[in-house]
Structure 1
Amino acid sequence: MMNPFLWFNENNGGTYLLTVVTISSIVCFVLGFITQNHSQVDKLWSLLPPIYCLIVVLSSPLQPRLLLMNALAWMWGIRLSYNFARKDGYTWSGEDYRWPILRKKINNRFLFELFNLTFISIFQNILLLFIACPIYYIASHRTAPLNSWDLVCTLAFLFLFIIEVTADQQQWNFHGDKKANKPWTKDGFLQQGLFRYSRHPNFFSEICLWWVFYAFTFSVQPFSYINWTILGTLSLTLLINGSTTFTEAITSEKYPKYKQYQKTTSRLIPWLPSKKVH
């Protein structure tokens, strides 16, 4: 099987990309091992893809499409970083609530650190590189000039970005009211706004947003729907789906009414509420 890292070369910043992902993987593992806070990659999640995009732009001949994609990536990253920061995600003790639960389930330091090395630190860092790789792929190939397809992708990206921003803000407002013990939050989880149509509208928009980012590669000539950078988008889709399953298992144990919510509301794709199981 071909080594995927052979797709990178010294042109268009390939060497720099591989250097950053290697250093990041090592640092995340070491910090997680020492501090037992395994959200080190989480702290970099919104930062690394824009940085990778910027590396490609600075290492490549000037192309309007690269500048456009870089701008979209930075818009996404800055907004997500803000959302993460206001939840104290960047504090030294800030850790995703799911990691302690998973550590308890595994209940073996060696096995969890092996998981930390292979999945949390290495796989997730490679994933963050690969979801940004459509811009590298475009920089490395002959492409058509900016056209109507770029406009379609940009508008779709912005639309999904707005959905994600709205969902995160609604969730932020809910948790603020929940801390204040407001009656409408008594069930313990959000069921209004976008969450009336999807249990995870922010996850849905995040997945679709990166599929749109991948779709920019359709400008490469000769045209093809499939190229190696799809691995990043596919992996992200699988990761978010797996993470959603784990998250919902925790939530349904904590809040009795969540199981009914699961029966009436679509898991990811926004849809009208019903009494059928999705």
Structure 2
Amino acid sequence: MTFGWNVLWSAVAVVALVTALFGYAASRKRFDLIDSFWGPGFAVIAALTYVLSEHSARALVVAVLTVVWGVRLGWHIHSRNRRKPEDQRYVDMYARAKGNPLAKMYRVYLLQAAIMLVVSLPVQFAAHTTAAFGVLDYLGVAVWLVGFAFESIGDYQLERFKADPASKGQVMDRGLWRYTRHPNYFGDACVWWGLFLFACSTPWASVLVVSPLLMTFLLAKGSGKPLLEKDIAQRRPGYAEYVRRTSGFFPLPPKAR
């Protein structure tokens, strides 16, 4: 099985899964379910890629790291969202849709599938490379570990903060959140830069840099950080001051108050 065939089968699998999920979401009239599928979607691609590969050490490591990341993220988002109303972004998208709102929402699902496919290209490519496990692979593991730690610890710290009644209306500026306003997004980006390094055993890897770049852009400039911070300053007193002293993405020492 070649890399090209791997991409084709991954596309078929992801489109089929998001289509089935869309049907379920439409029946429930809750379209933010795609967010819970984001991480597991990558896990499906990684597992399928390993099955289609030659089962090398690199293919196994990349598959395990991607599945661990994807399943944790999916469970975290599902656990968080099932106790809340539908994400307002999807409510607004459905309300703004003209003509056939369901068709518009299905295109949103297909866009998510396309992004998954592009971002996962290094995972698919790395599983089909034949070079021996080397320095770049070990570096990839290290970067992945940093990212996974930032993302999972950041999510845990925020959940603990929100669960404390005394924190209501306050700004989370403790732990990792003292050094970056989005440790989970920074960690997510690191995870994908780490996975990209596994594909760097050949010169063709320079083309695949578009994948971690796309993920980092989405988190820092696209649908991640900007949308999350859009109106939070109006809802939480003190957030403007938090923004002034705290890095927006890359962890840095906080500025003096």
Question: Given the two structures, how large is their TM-score scaled by the length of structure 1?
Answer: 0.81
Code of the aligned partner of 1:226: S
- Could you say which residue in structure 1 is the equivalent of 2:44? 51
Code of the aligned partner of 1:267: G
- Could you say which residue in structure 1 is the equivalent of 2:105? 116
Q: 1:86 aligned to 65, 79, 83, which one? A: 79
Pairs within 5 Å for 1:238-253 = 238-241=217-220, 242-243=222-223, 244-253=225-234
Query: In angstroms, what is the RMSD of aligned CA positions?
Result: 2.6
Partner deviation per Cα, 1:96-149 (whole Å, 9 max, x = no partner): 34433x348x6445486565233x3111111122222212213444x3201122
Q: 2:206 aligned to 196, 221, 226, which one? A: 226
Instruction: Give 5+ residue unaligned stretches, structure 2.
Output: none
Code of the aligned partner of 2:124: Y
- Could you say which residue in structure 1 is the equivalent of 2:156? 169
Instruction: Give 5+ residue unaligned stretches, structure 1.
Output: 1-6
Code of the aligned partner of 2:217: L
SS at match of 1:146: coil
- Could you say which residue in structure 2 is the equivalent of 1:235? 214
Determine the C-alpha separation between the residues in 2 that align with 1:62 and 1:17: 17
Determine the C-alpha separation between the residues in 2 that align with 1:70 and 1:171: 28
- Could you say which residue in structure 2 is the equivalent of 1:26? 19
Determine the C-alpha separation between the residues in 1 that align with 2:97 and 2:46: 38
Matched-pair contact (CA < 8 Å) for 2:140–2:193? no
Q: 1:205 aligned to 163, 184, 187, which one? A: 187
Determine the C-alpha separation between the residues in 2 that align with 1:236 and 1:206: 8
SS at match of 2:198: helix
* 1:22/1:196 CA distance change after superposition, 3 Å: same
Runs of 4+ in 1 over 6 A off after TM superposition: none
* 1:186/1:84 CA distance change after superposition, 3 Å: closer
Shifted more, 106-115 versus 246-255: the winner is: 106-115
Code of the aligned partner of 2:159: W
Determine the C-alpha separation between the residues in 2 that align with 1:231 and 1:86: 31
Pairs within 5 Å for 1:47-196 = 47-89=40-82, 95-100=86-91, 102-103=92-93, 107-110=96-99, 113=102, 115-118=104-107, 120-141=108-129, 143-177=130-164, 181-182=165-166, 185-196=167-178
Partner deviation per Cα, 1:247-273 (whole Å, 9 max, x = no partner): 101312211321121111111111111
Partner deviation per Cα, 1:208-239 (whole Å, 9 max, x = no partner): 2111111211112xx25512x33332222222
Partner deviation per Cα, 1:144-199 (whole Å, 9 max, x = no partner): 2011221111122112211111101100100100xxx22xx254331111111111
SS at match of 1:76: helix
